[in-house]
Amino acid sequence: MMDDLAAVARLSMVTKRLGGRVVLDGLDLAIRAGEVTALLGPNGAGKTTSVALLTGRLAPDAGTACLFGLDPRRPAARRRLGVMLQSAGLPDVLTLRELVTVHAGYYPDPRPIEETLALAGLTDLADRRCGQLSGGQARRVQYALAICGRADLLVLDEPTAAMDCGAARALWATVRALADDGAAVLLTSHDLAEADSLADRVLVMDAGRIVADDTPAALRARAGGSVIRCRSTLPPKAAALLPAVREAGMEGADLRLVSADAAATVRALLDADGRLEALRIVDATLEDAIAALLAPTEERIAA
């Protein structure tokens, strides 16, 4: 992995309390140029607070937040930042072209307006008023506002929410191209397929700390090779003793096994339960890997 000295944004030993609750607890986090970094974790893990600290909307109670070597609240740092938040609204009366033109004026070297509109897939909608847009179209406008200034760091919070598949894939392609050109990209998403497709690196948060920092492929490898689901009379504790099983539990009415060698596990499973039904085998996903990573040890082999 690249040395974190190359980080364009960093949180170092950060503690943050909100409403009397510790949200971040000695958090270390670094975002590097030329990478798409996905910040993932359950609700309440501290992802939103981390993004707010990196973008200067909050200050740490302890530790340091740094953006391009500066306090993230400094205008010189914020001018190199492009942000796409879920909660951001759009002015109803401006056209897309007018809004992007105004927003681009805040940056010292913005993209040409037509280039920004094309990258966001908005060329045909440029003269439509923002109040007339669908949810997915509004998200594309928010993406245009994030990229119009040639930002060195893009922070994308659930970027494809409300978009159809075609629009989402088009956005993924432009994000990948911007990272390949040297931009740092921080992505938060509940769509783990999106994170798996886009991210060079995944940071998994839980309870205000980073609990994993690796590539999507390496995290998937942690989950084992395959996920086996079936209807079985075999209890999970017994199934956990089968060859190559790394994790065993119930998923609704199904027995769910994570196996490093699906063929060996299935052969033993069939020998152990002749009444086995509804057998399915799939490759482990990023979702499987994160679920295994976040599960308490006592839940990984459930009774």
pLDDT at 303: 33
**H or E element that contains 99:** helix 96-104
pLDDT digits (tens, 9 = 90+) for 18-71: 998 999 999 999 999 999 999 999 999 999 999 999 999 999 999 999 999 999
Q: What are phi and psi of 84, to 5 degrees?
A: -125, 105
pLDDT at 218: 87
The residues of the chain scoring below 50 in pLDDT are: 1-3, 297-303
Domain assignments of the chain as residue spans, ordered by start: 220-300
The pTM for the full model equals: 0.83
At residue 275, the 3 state secondary structure works out as coil
Sole residue written with tokens 């406008």: 141
Q: What would be the CATH architecture of the domain defined by 220-300?
A: 2-Layer Sandwich (3.30)
pLDDT at 299: 45
pLDDT at 171: 93
Nearest one of 37, 3, 10, 85 to 184, comparing CA atoms: 37
pLDDT at 170: 93
Q: Which long-range contacts (CB under 8 A, 24 or more apart) does 111-116 make?
A: 111/147, 111/148, 111/149, 111/150, 113/148, 116/144, 116/147, 116/148
C-alpha pair distances (Å), 45 with each of 21, 42, 64: 12, 6, 19
